Amino acid sequence: MRTALEEKSTTIQKLMRENCSLTKSISDITKRMNILEQHARSNNVEIQCIPEHPSENLINTVLQLGKVIKCDIKDTDIQLTTRIAKKDANNKRPKSVLVKFTSPRVRDTFLAASLQFNKNNPKSKLNSSHLGIANDKPVPIYVVEHLSPENKALHAATRVRAKELGYRFVWVRNGRIFIKKDENSTKIK
């Protein structure tokens, strides 16, 4: 019985070491996969809250948005536009529009132009009325980086925690999330 117990104990220790090694490998693979998923999205932007219409032409909508924010893009700069499914089907927000540009440079120019538009127009930030979409009340439109699911969850959790701790700024740049307490503090990744 003592010999059997020692054998079982040795086997358990070996399995525990193996389990630790496999857990570390899975963690490493998950991190690498997230980096690859985010890199695959380096040409993409996500445009949120554009009202849906059955006969919409998303390429024309994106080109119109480009004119509004003064970003000179052509239809040849756009590889793909599509609506992406919502995580929660009961959510009343319209499906987001995914735009895949031909290069990260075009994407960055588009993102910068939308940010600049909102800075230049603090009282009338980007909304559905700028696109000529008639609604009772203009709906705000957000142009953001297309994040991997893991980064999107991290960004949401960061915004909640930053609000709890009194941080004023949370932003995403090239798939990385940053926070800043105020204008004079240093950014934290």
Measuring CA to CA, which residue among 111, 117, 131 is closest to residue 53? Answer: 131
Residue appearing with tokens 């949401």: 156
The pTM score is 0.82
**How many other CB atoms are there within 10 angstroms of residue 24's CB atom?**
10
Distance of CA 61 to the CA centre of its chain: 20
Average pLDDT over residues 56-62: 93
Query: Residue 134's pLDDT is what?
Result: 67
Task: Show the tokens assigned to 49.
Answer: 């809250």
Average pLDDT over residues 4-30: 96
Locate the domains of the chain by residue range.
Answer: 41-146, 148-189
- pLDDT of 136 > 80? The answer is no
Average pLDDT over residues 173-184: 91
Q: Contact, 82 vs 62, CB < 8 A?
A: no
- pLDDT of 33 > 90? The answer is yes
87-132 tens-digit pLDDT: 887 888 899 999 999 999 999 999 999 999 999 999 989 998 888 8
Q: What percent of the chain has pLDDT over 90?
A: 80
Q: Which helix (H) or strand (E) holds 142?
A: strand 142-145
Rounded CA gap, 69 and 183, in Å?
25
Q: Which CATH number fits domain 41-146: 3.40.50.300, 3.20.20.140, 3.50.50.60, 3.30.70.1820?
A: 3.30.70.1820
Average pLDDT over residues 9-34: 96
Distance of CA 25 to the CA centre of its chain: 26
Averaged pLDDT of the chain: 92
